[in-house]
Structure 1
Amino acid sequence: MNLVITPYDPNDIPNEEEIPLPDPRFYEAVGGEEGFRKLIDDFYDRIVESDIAFFFPQEEEEIEKIKTHNGKYFAEISGGPKRYSEALGHVDQIKMHKPFSINEKHRDEWLGTWREVLEEHAKAIDPALVESYFRFLDQYSKLLVNRPRNARAFEDLAKA
Structure 2
Amino acid sequence: MTTPRTTIPVGRPSSVFESVGGHETFTALVDAFYAGVAEDEQLIAMYPDGLELDGAKWRLQAFLEQYFGGPTTYSEERGHPRLRMRHMPFPVTFDARDRWLHHMRGALDAIALPPLYDELMWDYFQRAATAMVNTGDADRQPPGPLI
Partners of 2:39 and 2:19 in 1: CA distance = 27
Instruction: Provide the aligned C-alpha RMSD in A.
Output: 1.8
Q: Give the AA of the match of 1:91.
A: P
Point out the structure with max Rg over C-alpha.
Answer: 2
Find the counterpart in structure 1 of residue 83 from structure 2.
Answer: 93
- CA displacement, residues 37-93 of structure 1 (integer Å, 9 cap, x when unaligned): 12111111211211411112334xx31121112210011111211110122221311
Aligned residues: 124
- 8 A contact 1:94–1:143 mirrored in 2: yes
Gaps of 5+ in 2: 1-13, 140-147
Partners of 1:91 and 1:68 in 2: CA distance = 13
Partners of 1:36 and 1:139 in 2: CA distance = 19
Normalising by structure 2, we get a TM-score of 0.76
Relative contact order, higher structure (CA 8 A, sep 6+): 1
Find the counterpart in structure 2 of residue 82 from structure 1.
Answer: 72
Find the counterpart in structure 1 of residue 46 from structure 2.
Answer: 55
Residue 109 of structure 1 deviates from its aligned partner by 0.6
Gaps of 5+ in 1: 1-23, 152-160
Find the counterpart in structure 1 of residue 115 from structure 2.
Answer: 127
- 8 A contact 1:102–1:145 mirrored in 2: yes
Give % identity: 28
Within 5 Å, give how 1:1-160 maps onto structure 2: 25-50=15-40, 51-56=42-47, 57-59=49-51, 62-122=52-112, 125-150=113-138
